[in-house]
Amino acid sequence: MALLAAGDGAALDAFVDAHRFAPEFAEMEPAAATKVRLRALARQTGGVDVTEWHPEGNDIFFEGTTRKGAIPVEGALFLRDGKFVGIDLQRNMMKRPADAPPWPLKSTTVDAALKDIRAEIDWRARTERFSGTVLIARRGQPVLLDSWGLAARGPDVPIRNSTLHHTASASKMLTTAAVATLIDRGKLALDTPVARAVPALANAPDAANVTIADLLGHRVDYGEYFGELDAQPKLRATRRLSDLMPLVAARTPRRAPPGKVAYSNANYLVLAAAVEAASGKHFFDYVEAHVLRPLGLTHITYGHLDRRPAGAAIGWVKDEVADPLGIEAWKSNDHMFKASHRGGAAGGAWASATDLHRLIDSIAAGKLIRPATLQAMLADRRRAGPTLGSALGFMFRGGDKLAYFGHAGGGGNAGMSASAFIAPDREWSVVVLSNFSSPSGEMLGGQLLDFLAKLPRD
């Protein structure tokens, strides 16, 4: 911390060389990137006046204020055997300045709550904590729908309520809906084994003991597959997702411990192959014909291989290494997509807030999935935390009593963050689509849901 205050780049580099942990450790980032980060932190902070230290195991967490700009910050020093693995130092977004609206919200009527919610989002947008679209509905009817921030920069284009956003893993609900419609048609069942549902995996390791329910609820883990797609760009162009089964055919799915969740994107790739085998249609065609078209959802799309959909929001990110405090210019998230903007079975569809709300509201209202099928999917729940967990095909919020179901998406410095949840009785639903990185959308969505659940019913 003294070296950060001194601002001597050569001394910081020497410190990394002398005190960095042994190379065989699985480092959090390359040493060269750590040097760039520390030099940037010295330049941006002018040093940090630390007010709190919190040792936890091998690591030391801290809070303080930068000497340059008086920015509230939080961070951690990650240590092993007296040497450091890395440093995390970033703005402390939980510290609210004096001009922030009162938080948490305390309003007790719907009208007052909506007014206070709007004031809070206005402030978050003004202070670059949020950009995107928010829809709040009560009993199926939107009571707040508005947008904040920019879909494009230079020239600036504001986000509109109809703007399409990247939904990240929230679009897993499209795959869930496709599977559920096939269950309703008798083509699949929750207990159908993968070995029977996906011909390409008939002889795959343990496929006879993994069911559709296991895949939907992340009771097993087939791992990831995005890295293989990046390494083989031609695979991204396939319309038939069953053709991607060689990516997972040799894997033995790891079963989650009892009562636990093992989140896996490749699970949903396998589900897409099951949809294709049961329906005889390409996955994208089936979702279009049996999920989107029946509900009139013209503003949900899997997009195009080589470009964003027309008018879609560009995701905005900060360079976490060269700009760790996020005080320099925004950059687009084009690097996240490389050769592809198209979504798939595990995530990445594009949607407007209105259409994403229509999807979850239609599911809750029994317009797309039979109530008995939905009930069976929501009844099988495992917690991933005190108030968040995984049902079959949906995330849920609440403790022993399910308060909301839906899905969130985002993660990492990706310029996308989404949350779409609804109460089973449709009393409240919230959709937040953000073109800022996590936790911009997920955090706001969750906070709104928890607050609305406390309002008295009239």
- Say how many residues make up the chain: 458
Task: Compute CA 127 distance to the chain's CA centroid, rounded to the nearest angstrom.
Answer: 22
The percent of residues in the chain predicted with pLDDT above 90, rounded, is 81
Mutual orientation of helices 172-184 and 266-279 as an angle, nearest 10°? 40
| Token pair recorded at residue 364 | 């809750």
pLDDT at 458: 76
Its pTM stands at 0.93
User: Taking the CA of residue 184 as centre, how many other CA atoms within 13 Å lie in the half-sphere pointing to its CB?
Assistant: 19
pLDDT of residue 339: 64
The answer to whether residues 434 and 420 touch, using CB atoms and an 8 Å cutoff, is no
Q: How far apart are CA 286 and CA 345, in angstroms?
A: 12
What pLDDT shows up at residue 236?
76
106 three-class SS: coil
Angle at 371 between CA 369 and CA 373, to 5 degrees: 70
110-168+285-452 folds as Beta-lactamase (3.40.710)
Intrachain domains 2-91 and 110-168+285-452 with the same fold = no
Domain ranges of the chain: 2-91, 110-168+285-452, 174-281
Contact 451, 427 (CB under 8 A): no
- Please report where in the chains the tokens 């942990």 appear, as a residue: 21
Mean pLDDT of the region 220-248: 87
Per residue in 370-407, pLDDT (tens digit) is 999 999 999 999 998 888 899 999 999 987 789 999 99
Crossing angle of the two packed helices 440-452 and 110-126, in degrees rounded to 10: 160
What is residue 399's DSSP assignment? S
Q: Which residues, including other chains, have CB under 8 Å from residue 275's CB and lie 6 or more apart? A: 175, 178, 179, 182, 281, 283, 286, 287
- What's the pLDDT tens digit per position in 69-121? 999 999 998 888 778 888 889 999 888 988 899 999 999 999 999 999 999 99
Lowest average pLDDT, out of 45-49, 185-189, 302-306, 425-429, goes to 302-306
Phi-psi region of 205 (alpha: psi -120 to 50; beta: other; left: phi over 0): beta
Which CATH number among 3.30.420.40, 3.10.450.50, 3.40.50.300, 3.20.20.105 corresponds to the domain 2-91?
Answer: 3.10.450.50
**Res. 26: pLDDT tops 60:** no
Which pLDDT band, with edges at 50, 70 and 90, does 24 fall under? low
